[in-house]
């Protein structure tokens, strides 16, 4: 009888201390909002380090800082994963003006696109031709383009609620505009900044020359939306105006950098891995607070929240701070390559790379069985106004981990303001709201908790 009483007592203790999913998730949100660390980390990344372009000194400082902070969390393992990354430098500040008549000039705001070559010494001054698509470029042909600067002026489509869809509709002019215009003899390319806001901030971003030989490559720059509108209006009145710009950017040899990785080892299935991450590099114009400092600190916070709230995961949970998403994806490629070599099984990978705005939900790259399991968890998120659960893309850095059976996901914050800051000088710490950032971290931690608790759908 004594043993029966002891057994029942133990059962009651275990039964009363076990938390429901609702209680665990509520505690994750409470801890993030009242005792979070994501905003403090972002403050240091943004204001003490700054823009973290791959191969730069600031990127190196960010690697050292985040590794030290992860070590403070008491994780089971923290390490650096070497990866070779490109090193592109902007050089002296760019300068540009519109010349409407001899001696009559209007200064405009531009920035070199990442990967572009410099202008010749002294800059370039030439007539322009304005286009809004690659089809228009082709239709004009070499006879109308040779010796001129091509001005790509397709704006993001304002009536699309999904702003990433609007971005996708015109990003090709930034990425491959110079490569295509060079084929028709253009001497330079000017690209309307990919932003829905009308302002004076030019937005940089990656571009490519493809297989063009060095001798055929032409400089490429972005112009602010306000100045793009001004230039277009002036061209409509006078086709003979000229444009001048000067930039001194340069591509150097690859250098070694690192992915930063921290891990909590799983208690039951240590060889099944769950990854949460963002990219540690950023462009150099601002301090990369939204893109992707927010994703970095939210991902770090997921593991801190597990430790802080006493969650002991069944599976091994990793935070991966990927290097070189912006202009090469080298970190993501290296992480997936090493994982494959080691035969690691990644069942779920979650990325935050859409800014530190109010979280709305997630998009999932997975099969129907796993998506239906996710839909069964929707009610758990209702108290936190998280409602967006859709199939779709996940994230550039977790993409290389995709298999036929696993689940990839991307955090989906409200995106209406994201492209106001994306790749521009105003992507700074003051643009990030503390509470929104912390809500995002808790939302990510909640989904990671559920995938750890239940695994993949059968």
Residues classed as catalytic: 325
Residue among 248, 249, 230, 236 at smallest CA distance from 105: 230
CB 188 within 8 A of CB 119: yes
Contact between 315 and 269 (Cβ < 8 Å):
yes
Render 300-336 in DSSP notation, one character per residue. HHHHHHHHHHT---SEEEEEEEES-TTTT-HHHHHHH
Round to the nearest angstrom and report the end-to-end CA distance of the chain.
42
Residue 319, Cβ density class (10 Å: 0-12 exposed, 13-18 middle, ≥19 buried): buried
Q: CA 294, 318, 257, 164 torsion: positive or negative? A: negative
How far apart CA 263 and CA 282 sit, in angstroms, is 24
Q: 439 to each of 70, 349, 387, 392, how far by Cα in Å?
A: 20, 19, 14, 22
Cα-trace Rg, the chain: 25
Burial bucket for residue 3 (CB in 10 Å: 0-12, 13-18, 19+): exposed
**Residue positions counted in the chain:** 458
Q: In whole angstroms, what is the distance from residue 162 CA to residue 407 CA?
A: 22
Q: Contact at 8 Å (CB) between 375 and 389?
A: yes
d(CA 150, CA 199): 22
Strand order in the sheet with 269-279: 77-89, 250-264, 315-322, 269-279, 345-351, 407-413, 359-365, 388-391
β pairing state of 242-246 and 95-101? antiparallel
CA 377 to chain centre: 26
φ, ψ (nearest 5 deg) of residue 245: -150, 155
Residue 440: partners with Cβ closer than 8 Å, 6 or more residues away:
294, 298, 352, 356, 357, 358, 359, 411, 413
Helix, strand or coil for residue 114? Answer: strand
Residue with tokens 């001899």: 102
């Amino acid at each position: 009888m004594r043993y029966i009483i002891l057994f029942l007592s133990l059962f009651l203790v275990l039964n009363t201390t076990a938390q429901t999913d609702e209680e665990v998730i509520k505690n994750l949100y409470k801890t993030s909002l009242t005792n979070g660390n994501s905003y403090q980390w972002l403050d240091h990344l943004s204001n003490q380090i700054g823009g973290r372009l791959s191969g730069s000194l600031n990127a190196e400082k960010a690697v050292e800082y985040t590794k030290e902070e992860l070590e403070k969390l008491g994780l089971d393992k923290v390490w650096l994963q070497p990866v070779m990354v490109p090193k592109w430098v902007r050089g002296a500040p760019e300068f540009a003006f519109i010349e409407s008549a001899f001696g009559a000039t209007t200064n405009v705001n531009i920035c070199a696109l990442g990967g572009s070559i410099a202008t010749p010494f002294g800059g370039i001054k030439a007539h322009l031709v304005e286009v809004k698509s690659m089809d228009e470029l082709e239709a004009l042909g070499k006879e109308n383009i040779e010796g001129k600067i091509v001005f790509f002026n397709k704006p993001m489509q304002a009536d699309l609620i999904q702003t990433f869809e609007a971005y996708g509709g015109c990003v090709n002019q930034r990425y491959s505009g110079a490569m295509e215009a060079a084929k028709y003899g253009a001497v330079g390319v000017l690209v309307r900044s990919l932003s829905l806001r009308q302002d004076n901030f030019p937005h940089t971003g990656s571009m490519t020359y493809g297989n063009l030989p060095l001798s055929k490559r032409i400089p490429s720059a972005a112009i602010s939306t306000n100045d793009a509108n001004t230039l277009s209006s002036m061209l409509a009145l006078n086709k003979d105006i000229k444009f001048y710009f000067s930039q001194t950017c340069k591509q150097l040899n690859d250098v070694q950098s690192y992915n930063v990785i921290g891990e909590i080892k799983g208690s039951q299935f240590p060889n099944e891995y769950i990854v949460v991450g963002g990219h540690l590099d950023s462009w150099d114009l601002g301090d990369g607070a939204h893109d992707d400092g927010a994703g970095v600190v939210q991902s770090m916070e997921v593991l801190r929240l597990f430790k802080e709230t006493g969650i002991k995961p069944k599976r091994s949970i990793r935070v991966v701070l990927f290097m070189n998403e912006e202009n090469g994806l080298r970190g993501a490629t290296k992480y997936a390559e090493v994982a494959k070599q080691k035969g690691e099984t990644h069942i779920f990978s979650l990325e935050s790379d859409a800014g530190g705005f109010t979280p709305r939900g997630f998009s999932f790259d997975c099969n129907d069985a796993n998506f239906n399991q996710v839909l069964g968890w929707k009610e758990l998120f209702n108290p936190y106004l998280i409602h967006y659960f859709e199939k779709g893309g996940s994230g550039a850095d977790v993409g290389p981990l995709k298999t036929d059976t696993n689940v990839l996901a991307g955090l989906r914050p409200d995106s209406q303001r994201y492209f106001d800051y994306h790749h521009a000088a105003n992507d700074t710490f003051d643009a990030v709201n503390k509470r929104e950032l912390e809500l995002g971290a808790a939302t990510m931690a909640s989904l990671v908790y559920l995938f750890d608790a239940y695994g993949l759908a059968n």
